[in-house]
Amino acid sequence: MVPGQQASMTEVARRPDGPLRSSQAARWVRWLEGLIFFFLILFAILLPHSIKGARYAWMAAGLLWLAKLAIERKRPFPQALSAPLLAYIVLSGISTALSPDPYLSWPRMKVVCLVLAGTVVAQNLQRLSQVRVLVLLLLLSGLAAAGFTAWQYTYGVGVQVKYLVPTADLYRAGIHPGDIITHINGRSVHTPEQLTKVVEQSRPGSMLRVNYLQGEPFHKRETFLTREQFVTSGLGTPYLQLARGKPGRAQGTLGHYIVLAEMLMQLGCLAWAMLLSVQPHRWGVRAFFAIVFLALTAALLATQTRADIAGLAAGCVVALWLLGRKQARIWAFAGVVLLLLLATLWIHHTRRLDWVSPADPGTHFRVLMWEDGVRLVRQHPWFGVGMDTIFNHWQEWNIRAFALYRVIYHFHSDYIQIAVERGLLTLAAWLWFVVAYVVFLVRLLRRTREHSRFATGLVAGVLAAFVGYLVPSTVQYCLGDDPLVMIMFFYFGLAVAIERMLKTPGAVDVP
């Protein structure tokens, strides 16, 4: 080539550094794909146990996915239902920008943006076998959460104070009847005998650091007492009665019985659908899904959360209708009725409540919040009052339930909460997604029947879980709970990924 002459495109392509760059990029892409799938596995495992861990896992996968796109110089795959979700996020952002207290509203956008977890999952699963790994690990992790709940109810979480004289030193230090002592000087105690032994073995006059749980859900507290104060409070006498401490309502590792119930309901619907989809001769697999479903249901009953138990029942009926044969539908429907009957008796026994009880303070609180919520929607119809601004302005807006019950909470309904805080436009965007998602899943279910039994069961489980979510969402603010939003859009990502796999030759590698 003559000096100064520009090289042709063919000559550039033949240079050794061109293919080398391409092979290096391919190696980086393969490495990133493996790392992304690792964090998706971590996401599935942590969902029933750790809110922060699950959030960091999908965010790490998302950042790696963006790096992969930059190396490949590709655009994301076209994704179903992007328009309603984008409208939901953008309109929520506009409402937040217009909020009278943006410093309260902007942190809530982190929960709104959790819907992007579904995009990360949908864009990074290439084969149905990857989906199967994630589903099995998720259900195994749910089984572990149910097992942990059972351990809390059998072994206990500490030593509960059953009776204590109000003049005792323990009472003055902040420990009251019903509280559960968990540690003394860092040593865990689970029985009255263990607590007595730890106190008696301490040096005379020494100060003991006492960790205990108070309220429901548990709030961690700490106080300091001497050995002698324990003794004068009646240790070892009827004046200080102790027992193995157990939760009143199951809370698991998520720290709140409602949050745990929402998670268990979603997992239970999926386990039930997978159980119905397994071929009859595969007894081992059917036994696994049956054990998982029963364990999750038992743990859900232990939360004593009426709305989520009803959600599980509704989801089970949907999955049964989609997957069960006529005879199986009859027996399984009878089982669902039995579940509701047992739940009714259990809740009435433990909480002295019916499914709908006008005398229940929680029901009265909800009714007052709904009435005031509708009033605020009329006053601020388009973009609402801003997320979480009610905490600062409830007196100005005359929120009666807060004044009556001395509790500052939320509006106990996804739809009223969205309408009040972000306006009717954002509510319309969310309802657009809800309807479009149900239609998408029904159509996808018809297509998967021709390709994979596993995919059919999974899509039916996703649809059942979403129907299950719709039940408590009318009486609870479910979209305010990070774990529920993450698992719901984890399911969404799995369904969208399956929809793309049906169009990709060789991607459906599980029968």
What are 134-143's pLDDT values in tens digits?
999 999 999 9
- Residues 94 and 182 occupy one common structural domain: no
**Residue 326 and residue 442 in one domain:** yes
DSSP 239-250: TEEEEEE--SS-
> CB-based contacts of 470: which residues, under 8 Å, 6+ apart?
311, 314, 434
Asked whether residue 74 is domain-assigned, the answer is no
Give tens-digit pLDDT for 304-362. Answer: 888 899 899 889 989 988 987 766 667 666 766 776 676 666 555 555 555 455 556 77
In a domain, 272, yes or no: yes
Indicate the residue among 245, 269, 290 that finishes a domain. 245
Asked if 429 contacts 88 with a C-beta cutoff of 8 angstroms, the reply is yes
End position of a domain, from candidates 245, 267, 293: 245
Asked, for residue 343, whether it belongs to a domain, the answer is yes
pLDDT in tens, 265-285: 999 999 999 999 998 888 999
Residues 336 and 429 occupy one common structural domain? yes
Q: Look at residue 236 and tell me if it is in a domain.
A: yes
Q: What is the pLDDT of residue 14?
A: 43
CA–centroid distance for 385 within its chain: 26
In a domain? residue 34:
no
* Top-ranked range on mean pLDDT: pick from 235-239, 313-317, 407-411, 452-456: 452-456
Q: Quote the pLDDT of residue 394.
A: 86
Tell me which residue range forms the domain holding 104. 82-153+257-348+380-386+411-501
17 has a pLDDT exceeding 60 = no
Contact between 305 and 261 (Cβ < 8 Å): yes
Does 127 have pLDDT greater than 70?
A: yes
The tens digit of pLDDT for each residue in 218-255 reads: 899 999 999 999 989 999 889 999 999 988 888 888 98
Residue 154 has pLDDT above 80, yes or no: yes
Q: Do 263 and 137 belong to one domain?
A: yes
User: Quick check: 443 pLDDT over 60?
Assistant: yes
Asked whether residue 292 is domain-assigned, the answer is yes
Q: State whether 142 and 175 are in the same domain.
A: no
> What pLDDT does 356 receive?
54
Sign of CA pseudo-dihedral 499, 503, 509, 511: positive
Which of 185, 213, 245 is where one domain is finished?
Answer: 245
Q: Does any domain span residue 43?
A: no
pLDDT of residue 346: 59
Whether 174 and 138 share a structural domain: no
Q: 239 and 265: one domain?
A: no
Task: Please state the domain count of the chain.
Answer: 2
With bands split at pLDDT 50, 70 and 90, how would you rate the model's confidence at 104?
confident
DSSP state of 215: T
Percentage of the chain beyond pLDDT 90 is: 63
Helical H segments across 324-413, by residue range: 326-351, 361-379, 390-393, 400-405
Whether 87 is in a domain gets the answer yes
The answer to whether residues 218 and 261 belong to one domain is no
Q: Mean pLDDT, to the nearest integer, of 188-209?
A: 91
For the chain, what is the mean pLDDT? 88
Do 301 and 444 share a domain, yes or no? yes
Beta-carbon-side half-sphere exposure of residue 270 (alpha carbons within 13 Å): 30
